[in-house]
Amino acid sequence: MIFQLAEEELVFPHPSLAEEDGLLAIGGDLSKERLVLAYHNGIFPWFSEGDPICWFAPHERCVIFPEKVKVSKSMKKVLADGVFRVTKDLAFKQVIINCAETQRIGQDGTWITDNMQNAYISLHQAGWAHSIEVWYGNELVGGLYGLEINHVFCGESMFSKMSNASKTALIWLCRSEQYQLIDCQVPNDHLMSLGAEMIPREDYTTILQTK
């Protein structure tokens, strides 16, 4: 059963009630309060331009335990040579715009709509959302953004304009010693090659809600 959310009521059904594909509810809004409540309960929005707001709570979660991140020999050399400079929260808006504009295989358009961009920029201004920027000289060539909930970084999207730029951002995040877990939401080959794994929703929620 897919639940319909009302804009005037700030509540979500229990994540365990999500459909097999993880879809839990539609509707509601993208207010800071609703988004923060969603992430605290392992729920995230994911929808295309023109569609209603869709809220997902997958029964299995794709995550990276920071200490298990895989760094190849070639990537170790890139890091040791200092090819890139990494910053945090220096260019959040530019990162989310680049993520939205990045063409992805098998994807028509972007789910990071103007409304989504504005919502996450608002979350950033409120101290919830953060970005990691990767620079080559003075050029922004890669990065990622997401939310910090307790000691979990809930990753939303990443981009790369140079080979290894987004990998650098993710590895930096894992090595920052700030997080117990990096939430990748759903798997892909790129993430799995970097050490991502699938864990049950219940295990994810336990880690997420442990302060």
Q: What is the CATH topology of the domain spanning 3-58?
A: Alpha-Beta Plaits (3.30.70)
Predicted pLDDT at 57: 97
Reported pTM: 0.93
Q: Decide whether 3-58 matches 62-208 in CATH topology.
A: no
* pLDDT-wise least confident of 23-27, 57-61, 100-104, 162-166: 100-104
Residue 110 pLDDT: 61
Radius of gyration for the chain, computed over Cα atoms and rounded to the nearest angstrom: 17
**Can you spell out the DSSP letters for 64-110?**
E-GGG----HHHHHHHHTT-SEEEESSSHHHHHHHHHH---TT--S-
Q: For the segment 104-157, what is each residue's pLDDT rounded down to a tens digit?
A: 554 444 679 999 999 999 999 999 999 999 999 999 999 999 999 999 999 999
Q: Where are the domains of the chain?
A: 3-58, 62-208
Task: Indicate the average pLDDT of the chain.
Answer: 94
Q: Which two tokens stand for residue 122?
A: 């608002």
| Per-residue model confidence (pLDDT) at position 51 | 87
Question: Does domain 62-208 sit in CATH 3.40.50.300?
Answer: no
Q: How high is the pLDDT of residue 97?
A: 96
pLDDT (tens digit per residue) in 28-81: 999 999 999 999 999 999 988 788 999 999 999 999 999 999 999 999 999 999
Contact 162, 142 (CB under 8 A): yes
- pLDDT more than 70, % of the chain: 96
